[in-house]
Amino acid sequence: MDSTIDIHPVSLPGDSVRELLRAASETDGVDAFSEQFLAALGDARLKHTHLLAESDGQPVGLAALAPDGSAELVVDPAWRRRGIGRALAERVRAENPKAGLWAHGNLDGAKALGERLGLRVVRELLVMEITGADLERASEVDIPEGFRETSYRDAVDASGREAVEDAWLQANNEAFSWHPEQGGWDLERLHRAMEASWFDPAGVRLLYEGEKLAGFHWTKRHPDGTGEVYVVGLGSDYRGRGLGDPLMRIGLNYLVEQGSERVELYVESDNGPAVQRYEDLGFLTAQRHVVYSQ
């Protein structure tokens, strides 16, 4: 690594690295940091460890390590091929030898770094998308008899915030008991997620059987109008009853009504049944994000 580069811990990098991240995104065609890692740049509650690489006070790279052992890093495109990425990755692994390094898009540089460090891909996350006539068809929904669909906003107006959020958390944690990021949520974690600037209380679609919550479809809209299947889940009592399809369609219908002409989602590549369901709806794989570890 260039001897002029200094790598040191910082508490909250915040705006000091925004330009670096923007430049990397424009060069790579994919964001180096995911939503949670971006939020942690200015939110100490997320308890991320940040390692900043600087040259004469100018940020040229950044690595972030989350409490769960996941990590992300970025190097300014103008400063690449100088060993900064490897040095940041080694510092992360010194902090946590079992850290998993995310490589969004799994670009050639990430593949080469993983090989040099003797790491392998241990997880793959697919980005799938749907557009055009396929999206129009997938947004056609028929609510099963005995069920009703509403929004988080309207449900809170009718039943109160505490009751709605308790049921939402139960459904979420039952659906994602196995998931490293989405499982085991509590009210503090839910409320923190709802602080996102894009959060739309009408965009959380809830499926009820009587007064019991069967499942939820939390949608997201990006600044360019792209919709996202942010989180969708069914409670334990409602699995295997054919409700996954209408629950998906409820959220897609909302996004289309809001003007989204493209919708994306993220799904683990080894979740074969889910990938197949999304393909049956018309989704195609657009990108692959992977985790490198030992």
Instruction: List residues forming the annotated binding site.
Output: 35, 73-75, 181, 220, 228, 232-234, 239-245, 266, 271-276
Taking the C-alpha atoms of residue 53 and residue 63, their distance in angstroms, rounded to an integer, is 8
DSSP string covering 58-92: EEEEEEEE-TTSEEEEEE-GGG-SSSHHHHHHHHH
Smallest Cα–Cα separation from 35: which of 53, 51, 48, 52? Answer: 48
Annotated binding site for acetyl-CoA: 73-75, 232-234, 239-245, 271-276
49-55 vs 5-10, strand pairing mode: antiparallel
204-209 vs 147-151, strand pairing mode: antiparallel
User: Phi/psi at 231 (nearest 5 deg)?
Assistant: -145, 135
| Cβ atoms of residues 179 and 196 within 8 Å | no
